[in-house]
Amino acid sequence: MFLFRVFHPPFLIPWHCVSRIKKKEGMFGSYYLIEIEDDAFRLWLSLPGRIEDDLLRYQPNPEAIRR
């Protein structure tokens, strides 16, 4: 996956657009499904489990992370 992000700019999402965060277990370890919503669209973003520390540090409402 490293090759796909070499020249990619940062992907910034405002926290008010994050409606749900769920921790899941998969065949290759844990990951997070993040639901992003606004008036124009709704999408799910899958991130690796190692992102947990950053989610807990920066998410304004850490209790919203469902395990």
Render pLDDT for 3-36 as a digit per residue (tens, 0 to 9). Answer: 566 677 777 888 888 888 999 998 889 999 999 9
**Assessment of whether the complete model's pTM goes beyond 0.85:** no
Cα angle for residues 24, 25, 30 (degrees, 5° grid): 90
Task: For residue 53, give the 3-state DSSP assignment.
Answer: helix
Render pLDDT for 40-58 as a digit per residue (tens, 0 to 9). Answer: 889 999 999 998 888 888 8
Domain ranges of the chain: 17-66
DSSP the chain: -GGGSTTPPP----GGGEEEEEEEEETTEEEEEEEEE-SS-EEEEEEEGGGHHHHHHH-S-GGGEE-
